Amino acid sequence: MADYHKAMRQAKLEEYYTNPRLCKNCDKIIDPNPGEKIANLKNRNFCCRNCAMLWRNKNLPNSKMDEFLNKTKKEVFDQYVNRGLAKPVICKNANRMAKKYGLKKECFLCGYDKLVELCHIRPVSDFPDDALISEINAKNNLIYLDRSCHKALDRNMLDESQLQKIKDHQSTPQP
């Protein structure tokens, strides 16, 4: 009897693979999980949970992030009794935005890719209180730098060519 069920499953699998479903995110064939009924595959849209999450994050509007980007610097700082907690929240959003912009995780100046930090070219403290978070975390104000380049930028110790490279990045129009 077990051989009959194996043969039936194999026949159903062969029939499925003649016209398989493709993952909405990565376009790979959706393979059945061990023990999953072949008939259940028609209800699946993704090959795995990771693809489902990635597709959802790309395609569904993130109203909380949009709402945060439309706040002013003053509104964010006023949310916190301890004002020192506001800057890390802005930086956390900057990391999300860098991922969204597709910034390469390597030092913008020297190309080192091991220990890099996301850096605001113009510091958060230099923006006026009425500046929007979307302006502070704009693509042309964010770059990845390794620790030594980051310290050099913060202490105004970069040479002319490095400063020019950063200025060119800042002047590029945003998409």
Mean pLDDT value across residues 24-45: 87
Tens of pLDDT, residues 70-125: 999 999 999 888 878 888 999 999 998 998 888 999 999 999 988 999 999 999 99
Most confident of 11-20, 119-128, 163-172: 119-128
Taking the C-alpha atoms of residue 21 and residue 45, their distance in angstroms, rounded to an integer, is 8
pLDDT band of residue 174 (cuts 50, 70, 90) is low
Taking the C-alpha atoms of residue 97 and residue 100, their distance in angstroms, rounded to an integer, is 5
Which residue ranges make up each domain of the chain? 2-59, 70-171
135 and 127 in contact (C-beta within 8 Å)? yes
79 and 49 in contact (C-beta within 8 Å)? no
What value does the mean pLDDT of the chain take? 88
Helix ranges restricted to H, the chain: 2-18, 49-59, 63-69, 73-78, 86-101, 133-136, 147-154, 160-171
